Amino acid sequence: MKPPALIDIEIFPPFDGFPKEGLSFLKRLKRNNRRPWFEKHKSEYEEFVKLPMQSFIAALKSPMMKLAPEFQVDPKKSMFRIYRDTRFSRNKNPYKTHIAAIFHVHGHWQESAGFYAHIEPGSVYVGGGIYMPGSDQLKLIRRAIAESAEEFIDIIEDRRFTRRFGSLEGEKLQRMPLGYPAHHPMGDWLKFKSFYAGAEWGEKECLSRSFVEHVLGAYSDILPLVRFLNKALGRGK
């Protein structure tokens, strides 16, 4: 019997960069997005896409514990599956043609703001925040923005944030949300339906081990926004 400390622990290979073979596989998957083709080449997915992404997450875990210990960084749980949910989509292709990971507050998957990393042929996207929160979550976030306007503005106008991300991304309402006057001083921000920002890099960014360091830099710059959102949702410090 294994000692308790060793149960459920898996060692992943050192992350030396996302392999070019993985990007090549994703390119070919885009041209051959069919189950028979994927099953024939599944071993390539496992070796050149899934395992390197898990190694990246494993390499991110220790420094993330120092940067933001409230977030779960788990090679088995943080990575999105390659399989698409086609039930409510016109696009019936069964597989995603990118690989991605998301990091939420421990115990609050899909109930907290978090960090995101996305790799596909040609580009890498790294950022954080919350995408399309539910109605109750939106009300809490908007209330926090209205009541802590100065703190929010300081975060999104901070030099590190604007230099890295520019501004918030996402769709906005045409009109002010219910409960707020038409000329509310925070109106431009209260209209957002999502609250996130990110940086897009070329695919070369992910090909070396320094990718971990660069991702951590981006997460550090967006951490104040993520924590503001989680505090609003009752999920943070």
The string of DSSP codes covering 22-57 is: HHHHHHHHHH--SHHHHHHTHHHHIIIIIHHHHHHH
At 128, give phi and psi (nearest 5°): -170, 170
What type of residue is 19? P
* Any domain includes 2: no
**Domain extent at residue 151:** 15-232
pLDDT band of residue 235 (cuts 50, 70, 90) is confident
* Any domain includes 204: yes
- pLDDT tens digits, one per residue of 159-171: 999 999 999 998 9
* Any domain includes 92: yes
* Any domain includes 70: yes
* Any domain includes 33: yes
- Beta carbons of 127 and 197 less than 8 angstroms apart: yes
What is the spatial order of strands in the sheet that 195-202 belongs to?
99-103, 114-120, 123-130, 195-202
Q: What percent of the chain has pLDDT over 90?
A: 88
Whether the per-residue pLDDT at 5 is higher than 70: the answer is no
- pLDDT tens digits, one per residue of 121-144: 999 999 999 999 999 999 999 999
* Any domain includes 237: no
* Any domain includes 160: yes
Provide the number of structural domains found in the chain.
1
- pLDDT tens digits, one per residue of 30-52: 999 999 999 999 999 999 999 99
Rounded to whole angstroms, the Cα distance separating 135 from 148 reads: 20
* Any domain includes 9: no
CATH number at residue 145: 3.30.930.20
Whether the per-residue pLDDT at 4 is higher than 50: the answer is no
